[in-house]
Amino acid sequence: MGIHTATLFNCDADGRIVSLRRPTSRPGGPPRFFMGRRHDGNVWLFRHDVPDDLTRRLEVLCQSEPSATDLMPPPRVASAIRAALQEHGPITREYRGPAYLIPERTQGPTDAVLITREKGRMLEAGFPWMLPHLTTEVDIGPVTAAIVNGSAVSICYCARLSPLAAEAGVETLDAMRGRGHATAAVAAWATSLRQRGLLPLYSTSWENFASQRVAEKLGAVRYGEDWEIE
């Protein structure tokens, strides 16, 4: 879970969340509260602007949350933590979902390619927002795509990137969902990432069954749960 949190967030010297480790510019900021849950223990982080008196109260609540083998039910302290955060400001978003590691030698569909600058035209129709990132000097990690008739229908990219790992971001055109394209794109991304010596991480929400099926098809190993509150 240490590699996981270090891949999700940039933290200050006090271990407070400062920003998201996003190599590309996307909407949204870091959560005020994060808990990573595992069967062998939990870790938690607070954003840098959460008042010290509130973090002390949250710390006590987090310490009282037991480890759990079944991570799908809400944490026991969920209501108390929400109530404490609402005193600081309204809750605008809450997210919970499983976190996975994609194993080596992932077996998946092979109809996906690594998108280079020269192949950027394949993204023009469906994912034009990615094109500027392909031409920047900033390393955004591998971008892969499932291709149909010369055009990308599903892409996988580094939603978060650290020196040790990256977390997958996946987008599929609405008309092309449910056909295995996302699985192909993620499999190619994971292979490319491991060639760089990085761990391919994958997470989704408990409500996103399609995304969980992608993880299952890839043989991904669930190692914990993300819980975020903004």
Outline where 36-129 has alpha helix (H).
52-64, 78-88
Q: Are residues 116 and 213 in the same domain?
A: yes
Specify whether 21 is located in the same domain as 120.
no
- Angle formed by the axes of helices 209-217 and 181-195, nearest 10°: 50
Residue 106 lies in a domain: no
- Give the SS3 label for residue 154: strand
Instruction: Indicate if 129 and 44 belong to the same structural domain.
Output: no
Min mean pLDDT across 108-122, 163-177, 188-202 is at 108-122
Give yes or no for a contact between 155 and 142, defined as CB atoms under 8 angstroms apart. Answer: no
| Residue 145 contacts residue 124 (beta carbons within 8 Å) | no
Task: Give percent of the chain above pLDDT 90.
Answer: 87
Q: What does the pLDDT look like over 53-67, one tens digit per residue?
A: 999 999 999 999 999
pTM of the model: 0.91
Domain boundary, last residue among 98, 125, 144: 98
State how beta strands 165-172 and 199-203 pair: parallel
From the list 144, 229, 130, the residue with the least C-alpha distance to 194 is 144
CA-CA distance, 202 to 166, in Å (whole number)?
8
8 and 74: one domain? Answer: yes
The total number of structural domains that make up the chain: 2
Q: At what angle do helices 52-64 and 78-88 cross, to 10 degrees?
A: 180
Boundaries of domain holding 10: 2-98
Q: Does 109 score more than 80 pLDDT?
A: no
